[in-house]
Amino acid sequence: MQDFKIDLSGRVALVTGGGRGIGATIALALAQAGADVAINYNNSQLEANKIRDKIEMIGQRSLAIKADVGDTAQCKILVQKTVEVFNRVDILVGNAGISQPHQIVDTPDEEWDRVMNVNARATFAFARDLLPGMIQRKFGRFITISSGVGRLWDRWRFWRHLCCIQGSFDRFNKGNCSRRCPLCNRERDIAWSHKPTVGRGENQAYPDSGKRTC
């Protein structure tokens, strides 16, 4: 069996939520493949700085940038700061996400809007800011990290907003690229089924949220 090696030498990646958990692992893997990596964080500055230092020890350039991706203005600033240092962004990994496990009848507007802004609206904001440059350079990779919740919606009664968001990523990525676009088939959504994450650990007060209900 042949080893599969990805060479990203000379490429620049931006990983949202890259300071810890899955995002940190992705950031390190991209650096090991030869990419320079911008790490976005919101509250995990210490962890993000440690990942930045590890990437620099690998021999790649890195920086950690604070931004709340639930705010499209901060998304734009995040892109601008990355481009100022690295001149471009070739790979976007949209990993940042939040969840608030409540049933629909218990979900206030503010909670719905916050989850939608961080998990879905940010994807649109980054696509709007990054795709023109990717198309001009004829290279780009746009990767969204989502959840199997969007495909198993009937089992997750506490996570209806996540079901809407994660299910929409399939449509967004398919509709985001046409045959006329040089990046066609380069948008990908990776949906974890039941992966333990830092974020999930913060929601253990709802251990039965994945049980089938009717």
**pLDDT, tens digit (0-9, with 9 covering 90-100), for 110-129:** 888 888 888 888 988 999 99
Beta carbons of 142 and 173 less than 8 angstroms apart? yes
Per the domain annotation, does 17 fall within a domain? yes
Per the domain annotation, does 175 fall within a domain? yes
Parent domain of 171 = 12-189
Per the domain annotation, does 213 fall within a domain? no
Better-predicted residue by pLDDT, 119 or 54: 54
Total domains in the fold of the chain: 1
What CATH number corresponds to the domain at position 136?
A: 3.40.50.720
Name the pLDDT band for 185 (thresholds 50, 70, 90). Answer: very low
What pLDDT is attached to residue 2?
55
**pLDDT, tens digit (0-9, with 9 covering 90-100), for 67-91:** 999 999 999 999 999 999 999 999 9
Per the domain annotation, does 129 fall within a domain? yes
Name the pLDDT band for 182 (thresholds 50, 70, 90). Answer: low
What pLDDT is attached to residue 212?
36
Q: Encode burial over 41-75: b for 16+ CB neighbours within 10 A, e otherwise.
A: bbebeebbbbbbebbeeeebebbbbbbbbbbbebb
Per the domain annotation, does 133 fall within a domain? yes
Per the domain annotation, does 114 fall within a domain? yes
Shortest CA distance to 65 belongs to which of 14, 27, 130? 14
Per the domain annotation, does 83 fall within a domain? yes
What pLDDT is attached to residue 119?
84
Judge whether residue 35 has pLDDT over 70.
yes
Number of Cβ atoms within 10 Å of the Cβ of 1: 3
Query: Whole-prediction pTM value?
Result: 0.76
